[in-house]
């Protein structure tokens, strides 16, 4: 077998370093491979041949560290790589250059640790004959083929801690407190943090909301002497019959880019509807930072071990995944086909409703 290379692509997530560490350790202890090539800044490093050599010493002491020691990047698709020509960004297919760099380095297998975008790029390279292994990553937990992604637990914990803090000040001031959390396409962070943090209302992309229903919930609470309310809103939440207020598509990207502020929209409109004081907290990238939780360190390690095994032995063209309590592998092309959304009729939403949480419908 030739060399193994890895990269971390897309938005970072707590646990990335745990995956890198587990891969380097497993290939050394199980297969006697001393060195793994680590491309810097995602696929950009692959295109620019910017890499470091990873060994046991290099990955020592990184398990508890957030972020990625390799760096990452968002707009680095080698099949549509941004190149500035005459002060204008154009997009070029530089995938041949990437493959040539791998060949020159003697790399036979590439492990792509990333979300939907990076895994799709990995799948494209696999179709061109490269041995690719995918490791799913996103704090949003919206990758369909795995039950959980690392980073999600840490993000939910951060959002829950924020809710705990908002509760005391909300109660003192009899205010409606709105916490905007991440989740453009799926409301997993909002749903889990809302349940853990005792929210009164959870607004998610999967269940378009009606603010008049939210007002009813707030008024019902006030009748029972609860003069404050806590609302968690996912950044991709939409009003019934409305458009996504936070996102738009920009040229050269298939991802909506945040314009900011569904939380503020909800706060302003609810303020008008209820006459009560509202305040917004946008949690933003705090959810992506910091030390991974114990759960995320363990999941990252298990994913890394499995990815190293597949890299060394095949089958390739697979993504590691958690199904139930088992680590397994699924074909990359299946993994990137669709996103995993909250089921509005599922058990989680029903349980939230059972304890009195409103989804604004």
Tell me the binding residues for ATP.
11, 75-76, 115-118
Asked if 137 is part of the footprint of ligand F6P (rule: CB under 6 A), the reply reads no
CA–chain centroid gap for 244, Å, is: 19
- State in angstroms the smallest separation of the CB of 292 from ligand F6P: 15
Here's the x/- map for ligand F6P, 170-189, by CB under 6 A: it reads as ------------xxx-----
* Residues annotated within a binding site: 11, 75-76, 115-118, 138-140, 175, 182-184, 235, 279, 285-288
Asked if 192 is part of the footprint of ligand F6P (rule: CB under 6 A), the reply reads no
Enumerate residues 223-252 that contact ligand F6P by CB under 6 A.
Answer: 235
Asked if 253 is part of the footprint of ligand F6P (rule: CB under 6 A), the reply reads no
Tokens of 232: 């968690």
Q: End-to-end CA distance of the chain, in Å?
A: 56
CA–chain centroid gap for 1, Å, is: 32
CA-based nearest residue to 149, from 161, 141, 160, 159 = 141
Asked if 306 is part of the footprint of ligand F6P (rule: CB under 6 A), the reply reads no
Among 6, 7, 11, 303, binds ligand F6P (CB under 6 A): 11
CA-based nearest residue to 146, from 107, 119, 178, 174 = 119
Asked if 146 is part of the footprint of ligand F6P (rule: CB under 6 A), the reply reads no
- State in angstroms the smallest separation of the CB of 214 from ligand F6P: 22
Q: Give the binding-site size for ligand F6P (rule: CB under 6 A).
A: 11
CB 309 within 8 A of CB 328: no
Enumerate residues 282-301 that contact ligand F6P by CB under 6 A.
Answer: 288
- State in angstroms the smallest separation of the CB of 284 from ligand F6P: 8
User: In this complex, which beta carbon is closest to ligand F6P, that of residue 11 or of residue 197?
Assistant: 11
- State in angstroms the smallest separation of the CB of 76 from ligand F6P: 12
Q: How far is CA 76 from CA 44, 87, 100, in A?
A: 5, 18, 17
- State in angstroms the smallest separation of the CB of 297 from ligand F6P: 19
Active site residues per annotation = 140
Residue whose tokens read 């996102």: 247
Q: With CB under 6 A as the contact rule, which of the stretches 36-44, 53-61, 134-142, 200-208 interacts with ligand F6P? A: 134-142
* Residues annotated within a binding site for substrate: 138-140, 175, 182-184, 235, 279, 285-288
Asked if 76 is part of the footprint of ligand F6P (rule: CB under 6 A), the reply reads no
Asked if 126 is part of the footprint of ligand F6P (rule: CB under 6 A), the reply reads no
Asked if 140 is part of the footprint of ligand F6P (rule: CB under 6 A), the reply reads yes
Binding footprint of ligand F6P on the chain (CB under 6 A): 11, 74, 115, 138-140, 182-184, 235, 288
């Amino acid at each position: 077998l030739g060399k193994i290379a890895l990269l971390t692509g897309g938005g970072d997530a707590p646990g990335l370093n745990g995956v890198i560490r587990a891969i380097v350790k497993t290939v050394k202890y199980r297969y006697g491979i001393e060195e793994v090539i680590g491309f810097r800044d995602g696929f950009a490093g692959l295109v620019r041949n910017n890499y470091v050599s990873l060994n046991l010493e290099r990955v020592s002491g990184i398990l508890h560290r957030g972020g990625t020691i390799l760096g990452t990047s968002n707009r680095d698709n080698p099949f549509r790589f941004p190149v500035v020509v005459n002060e204008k960004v154009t997009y070029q297919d530089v995938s041949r250059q990437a493959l040539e760099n791998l060949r020159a380095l003697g790399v036979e297998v590439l492990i792509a640790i990333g979300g939907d975008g990076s895994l799709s790029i990995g799948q494209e390279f696999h179709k061109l004959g490269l041995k690719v292994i995918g490791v799913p990553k996103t704090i949003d937990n919206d990758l369909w083929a795995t039950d959980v992604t690392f980073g999600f637990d840490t993000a939910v914990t951060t959002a829950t801690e924020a809710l705990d803090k908002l509760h005391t000040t909300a109660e003192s001031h009899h205010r409606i407190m709105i916490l905007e959390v991440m989740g453009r396409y799926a409301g997993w962070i909002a749903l889990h943090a809302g349940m853990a943090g005792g929210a009164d209302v959870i607004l998610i992309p999967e269940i378009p909301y009606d603010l008049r229903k939210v007002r009813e919930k707030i008024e019902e609470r006030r009748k029972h002497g609860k003069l404050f309310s806590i609302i968690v809103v996912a950044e991709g939440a939409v009003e019934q019959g409305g458009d996504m207020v936070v996102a738009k598509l920009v040229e050269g990207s298939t991802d909506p880019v945040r314009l900011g502020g569904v939380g503020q929209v909800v706060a302003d409109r609810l303020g008008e509807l209820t006459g009560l004081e509202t305040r917004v907290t946008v949690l933003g990238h705090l959810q992506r930072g910091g030390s991974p939780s114990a759960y995320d360190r363990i999941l990252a390690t298990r994913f890394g071990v499995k990815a190293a095994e597949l890299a060394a032995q095949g089958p390739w063209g697979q993504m590691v995944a958690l199904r139930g309590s088992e680590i397994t592998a699924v074909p990359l092309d299946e993994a990137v086909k669709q996103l995993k959304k909250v089921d509005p009729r599922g058990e989680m939403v029903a349980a939230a409703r059972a304890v009195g949480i409103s989804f604004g419908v």
